Amino acid sequence: MPSLKDIRKRIATVKSTQKITRAMKMVAGARLTRAQRLITELRPYAVKTQQVLSDVTAEGRKDLVEAQRAAKAQGTALPADDGEAHPLLDVRPESSVLIVILTSDRGLCGSFNVSICKRAEQEWHRREADGQEVTMMVIGRKGRDYFKRRNAPMEYLPDVWDKLDWEGARKLGRQILQPFLSPAAPGSAKAPKRVDSIYLVYNEFKSAMTQKVTAERLLPVADVDDAPKPAEDEQKTEFLFEPSEEGLLDQLAPMYVQVSILRALLESMASELGARMTAMDAATTNATDMISKLTLQYNRARQAAITKELMEIIGGSEALKS
């Protein structure tokens, strides 16, 4: 049984830890308010950007389908899609895949990092079993350490979380796009290996207590079936391209990629802060319960020690009387 001194030291240690966890909870809660506001403001913009891009690409496909249908009815030659697709809309067979994984630099946030890493690891092994070549770009030291221990084919992108803004998302977007836009047969040994698609794995923020691990395709963006559908009562938009559809896509497609990356980063940051606030709240509650149990144990041990001393005093007094 521990001595009274040991129990007192343990109570003092738990109280110190409780102060730290309570302070971390308050800091995470204050930062979460700002992060939640940022992601709430960006979400409609990101969704609308994806919807507009989907409508623009669908408009071009619809014109081609209507022209082919009219030519078939007249018995003339079917027009071909002789225009080259935008590089970011180029759909290729997925023989090589890049997975971008968003984790945090610090721990003490519950299962936030473990859930992301396990989901990414499942994607990695599943795609390799299907014969695909998988490479990874990892953001966050926790993800780097996790996949380094498993000898994963990865590249670590440092210092991403130091500054989250539009310029940072643009730089990160250019770095992520390089493997997708790389030529099929690079002439230089330093050119990045070409990939056919890029996926993002991150935690989508639902609430301070709920985060959803999401694996979504970033590139190519030509699959309009996965785009957000407009409301039933929303009027269908008709587009007139000026100066041209290609010129619009040259601006819209990179902007969609940058907005999607910035949204994933903000979602991940808000999720991390929510998970940390929840974890520190649970740690503070557990520390309170532990202090109560240790205090009860201390009082019982102290009572037993006092009783023992009284018994010794009474026994000595009786011995002197006899």
Q: Which of 109, 117, 138, 294 is catalytic?
A: 109
Residue 124's nearest CA partner among 155, 98, 157, 93 is: 98
Q: What are phi and psi of 15, to 5 degrees?
A: -65, -40
Compute how many other C-beta atoms are within 10 angstroms of the C-beta atom of residue 220: 20
Q: Is 117 a catalytic residue?
A: no
Instruction: Tell me the β-bridge partners of 133.
Output: 96
- The Cα 319–Cα 159 span in angstroms is 77
DSSP-assigned letter for residue 193: P
DSSP for 196-247, written as a single string: SEEEEEEEEE-SSS-EEEEEEEEE----GGGSPPPPTTSPPP----SS-HHH
DSSP helix, strand, coil percent of the chain (3-state; round to 5): 60, 10, 30
Amino acid sitting at position 55: D
- 224, HSE (Cβ side, Cα atoms, 13 Å): 15
**Which of 291, 267, 283 has its CA nearest to residue 107?**
283
β-partners of residue 101 are 138, 201
How many Cβ atoms are within 10 Å of 298's Cβ, its own excluded? 17
Residue type, 240: L
CB distance 182 to 193 below 8 Å: yes
> Which residues are the active-site residues?
109
